[in-house]
Amino acid sequence: MVKGLVGDNIGLNEEVIKKSCSLSFKAHKSTNQPYIYENFRTSSELTEYLVISFPGSWVETDWFVRKPFGETKIDLAQFPLLKSVGNDETALVNEAFLNRFDRLLKFSSIISEVNKAMAEGKQVVFAGHSSGAVLAILATFRALEENFKTHQIQHKSPMCVTFGSPLIGNHIFSHASNRENWAHYFIHFVMRYDIVPRIFLAPFSSIEKLFSSFLKLLTPNNNSEPSFTQDSIEDSVTCEFYSTVMRNVATVTSHVACNLMGSTNLLLETMTNFVELSPYRPFGTYIFCDGNGQLIVVKNSDAVLQLMFHIAQLRDLQQLSEVANKSILQHLAYEAELEESLGMQNVVYLNKLDNLPLSANDGPDTDIAAALDSLGLNLRARLCLRAAGELQKQKERNEEKIKKEINDKALASMSDLEEYKATCETNNGKGYYDAFKVQKEAKDFQANVKRLVLAGVWDEIIEMLKRYELPDEFEGKKEWINLGTRFRRLVEPLDIANYHRHLKNEDTGPYMNKARPKRYRYTQRWLEHANRLPKEEITESTFWAEVEELCSWMSNNKPFEDVKERVLKIEQDIKKWTDKGELTKDVFSKDPTFIKLWETLPHEHKSTSCISTLFTAKG
């Protein structure tokens, strides 16, 4: 079991959490301001904090803008890292929340104020309660993106703490934040029965008739206080709203649980062909407040989703009215709850999920067993949590498996191909590309065998990535980026040579348009992502495909002016790649394919070309 204060273990001091909570609720009383802020120091630290909190909204269109779930692709111009790298899948975000954030940026000076605070060495903390929390989340991502883009590693990374936040985006939020090592910057407190964090697991059509009434219950009155009390809540509204949302939560979590456990409920699968499931998923660190002073810390997003359903279950129907009322009352109870919970420091960390106790007497950690009992988690709930932990372990085992494949098969094959490449470039005759394309010698045949071995290993890796079967951090790891780049630069020219050797371009079309394998597209994106580079159409591993296309164009006696821009671009790129050592100049003096293109170019062009000095051949 993890020891120490909760603040020490989540990276945010308890005083900062309390201040963030207090300021978040204060923001609800300042709805005429886009945000409020406060500078302060804790009693135990020298760090100066700037806490910025945002008000919520009780306008329906600030929550939903379209049915069924109101999601849209996030703007990659603002949030370029909120995507999967290899799969090139853009994160989905609640459009109404994104619109609110855009208005915040347009009509406030928050970006300049945050940049100034970070430049002064302050620890910036974005905070929010309810729908104010979503602005805190997006502001934090925006600040993290700015740090990433400008390499401002000397600045303290911004943090985010939310209270009763609704879900904001799909699984890519969790995937990307884990990949960038950002997940620990997001801390979400959720009361056991608070309905708001669960709302977006239900389609808007199912709660549309009740949603306005629900928002009215949360709307501050003229005295800036909540407009309801325990006695004023309408049972008919709260019971129906709670029941409807939780039925949908049950459907989503059951479907995910089946996938986690590797089993398929045919009835559930059939149903999902007719019922669209919510795309929204949790991310970051969740801290569940059980209402009795205990805090349960969970970092696995699949486990968080399961807890969203299982800890809010009813013992019987007679309990519905009581729990439905709690689901709203608890939404505004965070200040009092955290004052008690952070004082008690009764904290349980659900880290080793795959070994979670299935009963009170199962396992040595009685604190965890007692916490699970207090949350009312039955055997199925615990099995779901174990499955979430086991899935993460399986992803780690998958990475170990492919590491073994790389060590057993790929590294030796790459070394053999590098030796083959060096031999082709130093001996008289054809260079690396054309020697492989002609396939006249035994060493060329052996090189082809190595190429196919490597293709098989890397295709297996790519298939796992497509199915998200590897750790989220995988594509951000330097060792895999370097290995993928080495593989791509070494082997892709051979794939292009093989493609043109068999004249597949005449049947299928250009290699880049129709035939480039995902194993090269993915590994190219990894490097571009790591080096903050824009996406390139022609790279140091694909320039041969462009050379072949230009050769074909010129051999058909097409006017040089028609391809002049493409020729200039490829020459500039080649100069850049050779200057960086990514290509060797011997390639261009030995490979007949490139010399063929060079010799067809107008003399006046060649005489001023930036790569003319790379050639030993005349032309």
359-368, 425-434, 500-509, 593-602: lowest mean pLDDT where?
359-368
What pLDDT score was predicted for residue 555? 85
Is 62 a catalytic site residue? no
Element (DSSP H or E) covering residue 188:
strand 186-191
Task: Identify whether the C-beta of residue 578 lies closer than 8 Å to the C-beta of residue 614.
Answer: yes
Rounded to whole angstroms, what are the CA distances from 58 to 54, 130, 165, 402, 464?
A: 13, 10, 14, 50, 43
| Contact (Cβ atoms closer than 8 angstroms) between residue 328 and residue 278 | no
308-325 burial, b if ≥16 CB within 10 A, otherwise e? bbbbbeeeeeeebeebbb
Interatomic CA distance for residues 537 and 416, integer angstroms: 29
> Is the confidence at residue 231, as pLDDT, over 70?
no
At 42 the pLDDT is 85
User: For residue 391, what pLDDT is reported?
Assistant: 95
Q: Are residues 407 and 351 in the same domain?
A: no
Distance of alpha carbon 67 from alpha carbon 69, whole angstroms: 5
Residues 318 and 432 in one domain: no
**Strand bridging mode 285-289 / 294-298:** antiparallel
Using the 3D structure, point to which of 327, 342, 377 is the last residue of a domain: 377
Amino acid at 372: L
Q: State residue 237's pLDDT score.
A: 84
Same domain, 510 and 602: yes
Last residue of a domain, one of 326, 345, 377: 377
Task: Please state whether the predicted TM-score (pTM) of the whole model is above 0.85.
Answer: yes
At residue 128, the pLDDT reads 97
Q: Are residues 208 and 326 in the same domain?
A: yes
**Which entry of 62, 194, 302, 434 is annotated as an active-site residue?**
194
Q: Do 404 and 267 lie in a common domain?
A: no
CA distance 111 to 116: 9
- 153-208: per-residue pLDDT in tens? 557 899 999 999 999 999 999 999 999 999 999 999 999 999 999 999 999 999 99
**Catalytic-labelled residue, pool 84, 130, 341, 541:** 130
Structural domains counted in the chain: 2
Q: Which of 542, 550, 528 is nearest to 599 (CA)?
A: 550
- Regarding whether 316 and 449 lie in a shared domain, the answer is no
With bands split at pLDDT 50, 70 and 90, how would you rate the model's confidence at 368?
confident
Of 129, 331, 500, 529, the catalytic one is 331
Handedness of CA 35, 36, 39, 44 (dihedral sign): negative
Q: Is position 391 within any domain?
A: no
Residues, the chain: 619
In a domain, 177, yes or no: yes
User: Which stretch of DSSP H or E encloses residue 235?
Assistant: helix 235-261
* 194 a catalytic residue: yes
Q: Are residues 426 and 516 in the same domain?
A: yes
Residue 80 placed within a domain: yes
Q: Are residues 291 and 215 in the same domain?
A: yes
Q: Which domain holds residue 361?
A: 6-221+228-377
Query: Residue 76 sits in a domain of what CATH number?
Result: 3.40.50
Both 39 and 156 in one domain: the answer is: yes
Q: Tell me whether residue 235 is one of the annotated catalytic residues.
A: no
d(CA 334, CA 323): 17
